[in-house]
Structure 1
């Protein structure tokens, strides 16, 4: 009886050696003599108790006039056939990780580190779907009819985390008039960085859910505007650039989206805002809603006619004293003025010391997720 047949369809290489010895009329002792090893070493191989090492494969090849690779392949085939079947969870975890930054989501507390069955259930709950095949970007069943080219998996995961947080927030009923009043009064908050702490409360009074969620690696997100329903606008921000000018520009940009009722429809079809470089300008290559939001943001940060007048009079010799005087006159923090002038001059190293940090003022009063502390929401 084949000593390996009860375990596998692939016989142990020792069986071939036994058959070869029988054909040649050699004993195991003869082969041991030829190989220059103890007879027990040959017996262990022919009885299937020991495998063939690379060194032994070469020796057997010379002794039996067969290629060493033949013995090596026999051993490999036998070992593979006897290897345990891998845990099915491996393939499922690979599928999830290839579609979304699952490990980072677990690290951030968005998902709990559980067995694969519960992890899949958490993913469905996170994205609000009944089947993994309905989750955007899932590698095994990405829907052909949906174009996700402008929103990456990392951005989409961040977007759904903002929704998860926003859905548990309680705010006043949305009032467009109150939001317009807030926007009109925004400049009064722009002179002192500490005034940013009032933003979450003032937005809530307007009926806007506001959350700060740290961006994910490679996500390139500044903010987003979307609606949980037609009466529930939401603004999410990352404050990935912890600077006073960036914070107010992005916030005003998203408020303009709300006022224009942008960002409605399915969440997976929304586009997050990356306002770096030209994306924060008014070039013809940008969609109309983005140009309009950027224009409103720039105007609120620094009135553009006054900025242009100052620039024409002072450029190219704009001193720090000139900038500080202009900031006092328009009642804006110098860092906000510097941010606008840097863009205009294309000199992002100019007077950067004035672009103070602001995130700590905002997160002190905002629902915040990230920087080592997850938001207290249901998984």
Structure 2
């Protein structure tokens, strides 16, 4: 509960003046009673000198009030002199910092550092597309309340940044036929890690905006699918797991959402994307579609039936080469199915981030994007 702030606080000398008048005492007479110089009494009444603990004690004894009254009056008066310019702005800034990831947003260059709480509030309102700090970000205007509750402000900030970046991504006109062709073309690039650098270009030709935004601390976000309008799909990825298997699975998962025109009314946020536990049907479908696009289900199940539990290096490499898929994708699916321990064949889960960042529109990973320069 917030402390009550008086509308106006008077200096303690005003109360002392009233007390002396009520008793019919002059300042000189009161000074003689407390054994102090008349100048001290005069300056306290005039608000030119503060009340010290020693002064409070003698005032309390002479006036029968106790020293606490005078110390409290002095404290309230001193606080009132800084409260209008300090306390209110500090409380407001604390509220903004507790609700929004302000420090991370400044660090990433999403908003500018400022000493003005009003400027900070305006930047946050503009960034999230909000009318007031207590309103719901417009990104989620079509989302059910349950969805909003399950989406953290870190995730919303990431989404808003991805959306801003997506407007600057150059793309051709989107069509379903281009999408189908892009999926086939991308599948042909799954065999090697360095071909991940071609993803942004392939998607751009299909009319799909592809952006990479490094996740904020604690956001735990893998990717998202949303639309700028009914003809402008966006795939955003965080690359928080720098692994070939996770990258391709996430990408084809999001492409399945685009194919089914999902993410229009509200963005689809992916967390722990490959798990099907407690996920809605459309997420399970997208997971299955991504896995089957990378490795046909019948092929993988046949391989498991033949080899399990002896997944030797030669067996994994031979299967991957036959299907023209990176061996890390095979290992990732075996891990996810639980037939191969997570510690096995980890070296095959090669890193892809450096290649993806070569051509994608990127925010983070050491890059700070000034949107005014690219819009």
Q: TM-score, normalised by structure 1?
A: 0.79
Give the whole-Å Cα distance in 1 for the aligned partners of 2:52 and 2:307.
Answer: 81
1:31 and 2:34 are equivalent in the alignment? yes
1:292 and 2:274 are equivalent in the alignment? no
Retained in 1: the 8 A contact 2:128–2:137? no
1:52 corresponds to which residue? 51
Retained in 2: the 8 A contact 1:51–1:75? yes
* Ranges in structure 1 where 5+ consecutive residues have no aligned partner: 1-7
Retained in 2: the 8 A contact 1:209–1:234? yes
Give the whole-Å Cα distance in 1 for the aligned partners of 2:180 and 2:76.
Answer: 73
1:329 corresponds to which residue? 322
1:83 corresponds to which residue? 82
Aligned-residue offset at 1:180 = 1.7
| Shift in alpha-carbon separation, 1:24–1:126, aligned structure 2, 3 A | closer
1:69 and 2:63 are equivalent in the alignment? no
Retained in 1: the 8 A contact 2:256–2:286? yes
RMSD: 3.5
Retained in 1: the 8 A contact 2:34–2:58? no
- Range that drifts further, 83-92 or 367-376: 83-92
2:4 corresponds to which residue? none
Give the whole-Å Cα distance in 1 for the aligned partners of 2:210 and 2:70.
Answer: 67
1:131-188: CA deviation from partner (whole Å, max 9, x where unpaired): 33795259xxx99984412322222222122221212222111122232223234343
Aligned-residue offset at 1:263 = 0.8
Q: TM-score, normalised by structure 2?
A: 0.80
DSSP-derived class of the 1:364 partner:
helix
Give the whole-Å Cα distance in 2 for the aligned partners of 1:227 and 1:144.
Answer: 14
Retained in 1: the 8 A contact 2:16–2:45? yes
Aligned-residue offset at 1:29 = 4.4
| Shift in alpha-carbon separation, 1:11–1:324, aligned structure 2, 3 A | same
Alignment of 1:197-276 (within 5 A): 197-265=197-265, 269-274=266-271, 276=272
Give the whole-Å Cα distance in 1 for the aligned partners of 2:175 and 2:252.
Answer: 16
Give the whole-Å Cα distance in 1 for the aligned partners of 2:193 and 2:251.
Answer: 14
Give the whole-Å Cα distance in 2 for the aligned partners of 1:69 and 1:201.
Answer: 74
* Ranges in structure 2 where 5+ consecutive residues have no aligned partner: 1-6
| Shift in alpha-carbon separation, 1:189–1:12, aligned structure 2, 3 A | same
